[in-house]
Structure 1
Amino acid sequence: MLIIPTPLTAEAFAPYGHVLQCPRQPARQYHDPILANLRGSGASPSLSLITVAPTALPLRLTALERHAYSSQTFIPLDVAAYVVIVAPRAPDGGPDGGAAQAFLAGPEQAVSYHADTWHHGLTVLERQARFAILMWRAGDDGDEEFRPIAPVSVAGV
């Protein structure tokens, strides 16, 4: 299967999470309601910083990940462009790789995955990139899960 990335929009991404952008004019936005911790007091907020090497497209996917109990937010700090790859749940609860979608995100777009959303790791294009990541962690196996999928290719843009 070949996936062709489409531009990231809030409407298209809504089944998987939220697209965040800073206000164009001086102002502050609060996004607290989208930060989900489904474990309650058993998990703590986790803020991490990551530097990611660029990846050339096409990309071959063989596994996806999810965080069943936590939203996960990626905030670009120094990014040119990146691809956000998501998939709905299959009837068995795993990822439905055959229905995966890819979105092309710009440097001003942050994404926040809903808890329990199957997705691929950060895939940055053009040059090395830096992100801040916010999620909830309990320090156990429930923090993240990886599952294999039938190979899927994401086309170049």
Structure 2
Amino acid sequence: MPAPLPRPLTPEGFARYGEVPAVPEAVGMRTSFDGGLKSLRPGVPASLSLILASPSLARPVPIGIIERHVWTSQSFVPMAPVRWLVVVAPQAADGGPDLAAAEAFLPEPGQAITLHPGTWHAPLTVLDAPAPFAILMWRDYGPDDEEVREITPIGIAV
């Protein structure tokens, strides 16, 4: 399978997978991005995690795992201006990831994403240096919170 070429992250280009929240341009303004935040299981608590993500320094960037959260959206919010990579894939007819249609995005420093529930995606992939991120989702730490699949590794040129 040929690896997708990364392209800039835009709300329009990413719409089938989720939202791209943006910081307001005016000082003191607040924009809410509640529409993309979803839990499809009543009673499951929200989870906010903070991580200092380890960078992937190999080039091309190897992607050997893809995952999804069937019941919840998942937001990744960088807490510093860092380079990172987003790799997503639509669902195939069998319910697994359609890796032939995978797409890769390079967010601008400070851009965040919220993935739709059920979106297949590579784990958080930071480039160049360790980076702090906030991750928001709903989870009860049960077996249905996350589905992870190993894939034949693909290399993403960045």
What residue is the counterpart of 1:105 in the other structure?
A: 107
Cα deviation 1:90-135 (Å, max 9, x = unaligned): 1110111111111001222000000000000111112110000100
What residue is the counterpart of 1:9 in the other structure?
A: 10
> Which blocks of at least 5 consecutive residues in structure 1 are unaligned?
none
What residue is the counterpart of 2:82 in the other structure?
A: 80
| Alpha-carbon offset, residue 3 of structure 1 | 1.8
- Which whole-Å CA distance do the structure 1 matches of 2:35 and 2:3 have between them? 35
- Which whole-Å CA distance do the structure 2 matches of 1:23 and 1:5 have between them? 25
Instruction: Answer yes or no: is the 8 Å Cα contact 1:52–1:124 preserved in 2.
Output: yes
The one-letter amino acid of 2:93's match is P
TM-score by length of 2: 0.93
Q: Does residue 1:29 correspond to 2:9, yes or no?
A: no
What residue is the counterpart of 1:49 in the other structure?
A: 50
Cα deviation 1:49-88 (Å, max 9, x = unaligned): 0011211231222220000000000111024211011000
Q: CA RMSD in A?
A: 1.2
| SS of alignment partner, residue 98 of structure 1 | helix
Instruction: Answer yes or no: is the 8 Å Cα contact 2:73–2:117 preserved in 1.
Output: yes
Select the residue among 143, 146, 149 that pairs with 1:147: 149
TM-score by length of 1: 0.94
Instruction: Answer yes or no: is the 8 Å Cα contact 2:82–2:110 preserved in 1.
Output: no
Identify the structure with the greater strand proportion.
1
> Which blocks of at least 5 consecutive residues in structure 2 are unaligned?
none
Q: Does residue 1:70 correspond to 2:72, yes or no?
A: yes
| SS of alignment partner, residue 12 of structure 1 | helix
Counterparts of 1:113-124 in structure 2, within 5 Å, are 113-124=115-126
Instruction: Answer yes or no: is the 8 Å Cα contact 1:60–1:153 preserved in 2.
Output: yes
| SS of alignment partner, residue 3 of structure 1 | coil
